[in-house]
Structure 1
């Protein structure tokens, strides 16, 4: 079977280094049933951006939208005023546009595919009688890679927003239009003409400045150059308040972005594969945790933060970020089999465990998703267990030092109410490993 031909990866790499031809092949996520991607080891191409979202992604996006709305109604009893959603380029390539499809569906529009080519030529309004719910207000925060790889999709979202805002519908059935009309009046009072005010009121796609990448939160967390959540939230806003759409390629619009954040009652980031999760790397809390804390900075309270799971398109799920964090803690971080697998990678495995602790701290700093019991279990399993301590000292003592440092930082910032005995054990362990590292470097 093609799944067994993983050796092709090594052979193809050696062939490429030798200047030989490497057979091309499609890309995506085999875990989602895309069997045509196998065997791996081919010179993969990504996607045709004009075919996004695909019809299959549209169906997944609708399901994601429906379960998000259902969870919002369950938790709050009403439709949200504004939904913030993270839009990444890599996930768009793998899923062929699940997240984009969800955005369009929440707005109350659907893609129009060109017969024959399958290209998306635009969007059309879903009739209110068919939609059977209000059209919602959505603010996508795009990554720098999405901006660069999919400018046509940025235009598509912008087009959809302007179409929905222009509909002659009641404020109850078109939440986006209600907000646009409110803002239109405010901007005209500030001296803008009607055309300028309409454009300002309909900006919804935001990201980092042109030519740059990131969200400005991970840098502060990793360097410890922050005191409060507001520091993180305000820096996220500085990085992210750049509007994309007709007439604006990354123009700085902090007042508009803050206005949208003030209404952002719900946030979501979807996962299209269980190969990755919110604790896999710093990008997750940098982009998504940053959005959550930015909304709190402006609103004064945390939004309902959700994680959609479309890894199995037949069984789409949704959890809060706290529920997702607990799920990952139990299934991966505290799983002895997973830990044994990491140990087999020696220095690199220890380094990845250390980075994982950075991510845990970043998520708690931004979204407050780590309970005391989680810190307790991490400390016992990764920092204070004699066998683990010895292994880390042998393969990568710097990893142990960083793990201890992050746990102590969580205590010092009041994020973890550790017992006095636990804190003493961690401080003693830190001083011990610090002394051993000094001896190694002398």
Structure 2
């Protein structure tokens, strides 16, 4: 119902990041570095960050500002137009910590909407890589030199922005999870690499770069994704587990270890904080997924409400498959709250029996794959009985 020609968000791509976004992004970078240091006693050398176009429009570039702050460069603006005119390199002494090599996985929408920002990030990476600084201060420079020694191509060695093939969108993991025919991390990583292994920046424009992407991902210490609002969370969209979880699975497949997985929370810009992905999953699970008030709200929406509940289970399963963040007690809670609660069960059976069947099937798959490590026999028997009952009802046309 907006007037013709108006958009939900008005943004000038050349004004990203804004001055306010720089403040928030700097705080996100500091929070991430401090959390990693508190967890490990070290500074992160390489961070992988997922960047979406919709969040860039909402925040005017918090994610972009964080990348620049991690690299140790500060944007510069034209005062009259508020557009970004370039950046200045922050001296290592002013930064007070080592620079961070940042690997960026952009969405297809971000690629299309913000080519100027991609160019800015690429220029910042190449500038920092050219600084005459020791490896302990500038890991990016050290990594570029190591890659140059391996293949001798400077443009490849400084590629840090990766995304889907030009004209393509997404990370590809949802169809794989839905098909239920994947076996292990190798399958997840293969899809993530095939969909995301294209480099962007000056002279690249989506060049096939899977080998360079994998070389960069092998170095990732932290896989991060920021959350800038409370309108949605990591369990109500498949994109979260596809992009963020996919990055974790990719690193785990390439290195045999899971990177630290962090979620930056800037929904209150003055109180930025960083949680682990596990902490964020538990927060969302308790506050929404099994919250009786949310379940009651979904029941008021009939078929669509039941669909949203089934989708939430699917997205949690996807995150567990990729990043291993769903505990056994959470699966038990899903079963008791969604399948075995008499009122919820009757609601689903009456309004959307496909959703009830799907939830039971997904929970059984989690047990079969060992994601749900020790389900109780009674719970599994109940889920199997529910699945067979719903299957029979649907085939009978009830």
> For this structure pair, what is the TM-score category when the shorter chain's length is used for normalisation?
over 0.9
Q: Can you give the 5+ residue segments of structure 2 that lack an aligned partner in the other structure? A: none
Provide the rounded CA distance (Å) in 2 between the counterparts of 1:279 and 1:268: 16
Corresponding residue number in structure 2 for 1:117? 81
Q: Which of 52, 56, 71 is equivalent to 2:16?
A: 52
Provide the rounded CA distance (Å) in 1 between the counterparts of 2:139 and 2:189: 26
Provide the rounded CA distance (Å) in 2 between the counterparts of 1:280 and 1:428: 27
Corresponding residue number in structure 2 for 1:424? 381
Q: Which of 350, 357, 381 is equivalent to 1:401?
A: 357
Aligned alpha-carbon RMSD (Å): 1.2
Corresponding residue number in structure 2 for 1:384? 340
Corresponding residue number in structure 1 for 2:226? 270
Task: Map 1:291-302 onto structure 2 (within 5 A).
Answer: 291-302=247-258
Compute the displacement of 1:24 (Å). 6.9
Q: What count of residue pairs does the alignment treat as equivalent?
A: 397
Compute the displacement of 1:115 (Å). 2.4
Task: Map 1:102-113 onto structure 2 (within 5 A).
Answer: 102-113=66-77
Compute the displacement of 1:45 (Å). 4.6
**TM-score, structure 1 normalization:** 0.88
Corresponding residue number in structure 2 for 1:141? 105
| SS of alignment partner, residue 406 of structure 1 | helix
Q: Which of 39, 43, 47 is equivalent to 1:79?
A: 43
Compute the displacement of 1:168 (Å). 0.8
Corresponding residue number in structure 1 for 2:188? 232
Q: Is the 8 A contact 1:234 1:297 kept in 2?
A: no
Corresponding residue number in structure 1 for 2:396? 439
Corresponding residue number in structure 2 for 1:365? 321
Q: Which runs of 4+ in 1 moved over 4 A?
A: none
Compute the displacement of 1:263 (Å). 0.6
Provide the rounded CA distance (Å) in 1 between the counterparts of 2:123 and 2:389: 60
Task: Map 1:240-251 onto structure 2 (within 5 A).
Answer: 240-251=196-207
Stretch of structure 1 that moved more, 416-425 or 289-298: 416-425
Q: Is the 8 A contact 1:24 1:44 kept in 2?
A: no
Compute the displacement of 1:267 (Å). 0.8
Corresponding residue number in structure 2 for 1:354? 310
Offset from partner CA, 1:307-351 (integer Å, 9 cap, x none): 000000011111100000000011001111111111111111011
Provide the rounded CA distance (Å) in 2 between the counterparts of 1:129 and 1:94: 33
Offset from partner CA, 1:378-416 (integer Å, 9 cap, x none): 000101112211110111111101111101111111111
Corresponding residue number in structure 2 for 1:63? 27
C-alpha change, 1:272 and 1:45, in structure 2 (3 Å) is: closer
Task: Map 1:280-295 onto structure 2 (within 5 A).
Answer: 280-295=236-251
| SS of alignment partner, residue 314 of structure 1 | helix
Compute the displacement of 1:353 (Å). 0.6
| SS of alignment partner, residue 71 of structure 1 | helix
Compute the displacement of 1:221 (Å). 0.4
Provide the rounded CA distance (Å) in 2 between the counterparts of 1:435 and 1:23: 49
Q: Is the 8 A contact 1:24 1:45 kept in 2?
A: no
Q: Can you give the 5+ residue segments of structure 1 that lack an aligned partner in the other structure? A: 1-8, 13-21, 26-42, 189-196
Corresponding residue number in structure 2 for 1:150? 114
**TM-score, structure 2 normalization:** 0.98
Offset from partner CA, 1:173-209 (integer Å, 9 cap, x none): 1111111111111113xxxxxxxx1111100000010
| SS of alignment partner, residue 154 of structure 1 | helix
Compute the displacement of 1:23 (Å). 7.1
